[in-house]
Amino acid sequence: MALVKQITKTELQQLEDKSEIISIDEMCRETGFISGVFKIAFKKAEINPAYFCIDTQTYYYNRISYMYILKRLLQQRKVTM
């Protein structure tokens, strides 16, 4: 069964309030996900059930917005509220 991270509405609002583009390391620090192993469900990247990571050889994104990541995770049901 996949790991699901619980996130509160307050936490989500705080992330929305930032609204700037941030680095993956910053995202991981603030959400508690493992830095450097943050996998997002792009079409060709598979979700690891234990954690999320980016395939650096195929999909390397230096900076990704909080809301983009959270919306993707919510769509994938990897984050619950």
pLDDT tens-digit profile of 24-74? 556 556 555 544 444 443 333 443 333 343 433 333 333 345 556 666 666
Identify the helix (H) or strand (E) that includes residue 17. helix 9-18
| pLDDT higher than 60, residue 77 | yes
Confidence at 75, pLDDT banded by 50, 70, 90: confident
The parent domain of residue 38 ranges over 5-80
Token output for 44? 């060709």
Q: How many domains does the chain have?
A: 1
- Bridge-based pairing of strands 5-6 and 79-80 is parallel
**pLDDT for res 81:** 53
DSSP assignment letter at 46: P
pTM over 0.75: no
